[in-house]
Amino acid sequence: MKVKCEYCGSMIDDQSAYCPNCGSPNKNIRRTHDKTPKTIEELQQWYQDRNLPPYETTRFFIGENYQGKRAFGIYRDGDEVVVYKNKDDGTRAIRYQGTDEAYGVNELYLKLKSEILNQKAHNSKGGRKSSKTSAKEGCLGILLGWLGMMVMGLVSIVVIAKPLITIAAFVVPIGLYALLHKMFPDLKNKINNKIVLIAFIVYLVLALTGIGYYAINCYTPVYYNHDGNVYVQYDNDYYMYDADDNDYYPIDRNDFPSEIRENPSDYEFSYGGEGWDSSYSFKDSDYYNDNLASDDYSSSDSDSSYDWDSGSSWDSGGSDWGSDW
């Protein structure tokens, strides 16, 4: 089956890993593995599962050759599928017409997802305008909550430090307090309290910085090039790139080259740097999308991101109905 290259527009074999004309990766291959709709019926089911409003409201007519103004749609015409947009002047722009149903469905699918996010953003802005007071109250509540936690922490440190009882969460500030108190035994209580406050703030900053650093780095793939092979470390697991499958597969920690573990900076492979190939991107791989994307705390492209709240309003009048797509 022939599919269209998403970069240069030429028709290529759907099983080709790369476009022979421009060398870009063939993203259509992924559609045979992921859960995106590939038929009109699957797109209809995806639409229903998201609890979206009726077609007449969203102006997306799936499986219908709608003739009215302002509409996106897809339908079958014999052996072909037609993806179209009816503009506000009544003219029709054809986005795709051909026998590759999966490609045509994906065109409308991407447009529908984009419009859902636009509508959610519109509803979110409207909600903020009508609830400025509650937003301020919420921020105040968060601030007071943080202050309360700090006060409780300080009290805990002072109370715990006196009888020399320690707990893991306060080892650092208690240690600093004890050390400074021993070095300056004549300090007044007021100054001692300031020392405790400074120690606690330092501890809190270091703790939050450590948590943030861990979260960012844990969910950021780190690439290595070793003996011509590309490896990835992600969320404390290890993966190896298979050029034949244009995909990654997990490997045991013991199979991860010891040279990389001992001197990681010598083998680190910069994302987008010299020698970088777009197919190396771990988060664009089939393995990641099939097994890890739904578990990634930062992932915003899961189907649940497009679920519609029945209490929200859909305003299709804000769409650009004058353009071809």
**pLDDT 10s digits, 165-205:** 445 555 666 666 666 666 666 555 555 566 666 766 776 77
Residue in this structure with the two tokens 């083998």, named with its chain if needed: 267
Task: Look at strands 71-77 and 60-62 and give their pairing.
Answer: parallel
Give pLDDT, residue 155. Answer: 55
In a domain, 7, yes or no: no
Question: Same domain for 278 and 226?
Answer: yes
Rounded to whole angstroms, how far apart are CA atoms 256 and 240?
A: 9
> What band does 294 get if pLDDT is binned at 50, 70 and 90?
low
Residue 323 lies in a domain: no
Residue pointed to by tokens 């995909």: 247
Q: How many angstroms separate the CA atoms of 116 and 315, rounded?
A: 11
**Within this chain, do residues 125 and 163 fall inside the same structural domain, yes or no?**
no
325/115 Cα distance (integer angstroms): 12
- Of 129, 159, 178, the last residue of a domain is 129
Q: Are residues 234 and 261 in the same domain?
A: yes
Does 119 lie in the same domain as 66?
yes
On whether both 139 and 205 belong to a single domain, the answer is: yes
Total-model pTM = 0.44
The answer to the question of residue 199 being in a domain is yes
Average pLDDT over residues 92-113: 93
296 and 257 within one domain: yes
Range of the domain at 259: 222-306
Residues 187 and 255 in one domain: no
Six token digits for residue 66: 């709608």
Higher pLDDT: 47 or 301? It is 47
Residue 195 inside a domain? The answer is: yes
The neighbour count for residue 143, using CB atoms within 10 Å, is 10
* pLDDT on residue 218: 60
Q: Report the pLDDT averaged over residues 242-257.
A: 87
Long-range interactions of 56-62: CB distance < 8 A, separation 24+: 57/314, 57/316, 58/112, 58/115, 58/314, 58/316, 59/316, 59/319, 60/108, 60/111, 60/112, 60/115, 62/108
Structural domain tally of the chain? Answer: 3
User: Does the residue 212 lie in any domain?
Assistant: yes
Q: Quickly state the pLDDT bin for 139 (edges 50, 70, 90).
A: very low
* Whether residues 125 and 138 fall in one domain: no
Domain ends where: 193, 218, 243?
218
173: exposed, middle or buried (Cβ count in 10 Å: 0-12, 13-18, 19+)? buried
258 part of a folded domain: yes
**The pLDDT value given to residue 135:** 39
Could you tell me if 103 and 174 lie in one domain? no
Instruction: Give the Cα separation of 190 and 212 in Å (integer).
Output: 33
Do 149 and 90 lie in one domain? The reply is: no
> Which H or E run includes 202?
helix 189-218
| CA gap 187, 239 in Å, rounded | 56
Which pLDDT does position 57 carry in this prediction?
95
Single out the residue in 88, 107, 129 at which a domain terminates.
Answer: 129
Q: Quick one: 43 and 123 in the same domain?
A: yes
Residue 6's DSSP bridge partners are: none
Inside any domain, residue 8: no
Same domain, 228 and 243: yes
> What is the C-alpha to C-alpha distance for residues 258 and 264, in angstroms, rounded to an integer?
9
- For residue 25, tell me if it sits in a domain: no
Contact yes or no for 22/7 (Cβ under 8 A) = yes
Residue predicted with more confidence, 147 or 92 = 92
Residue 60 has pLDDT above 90, yes or no: yes
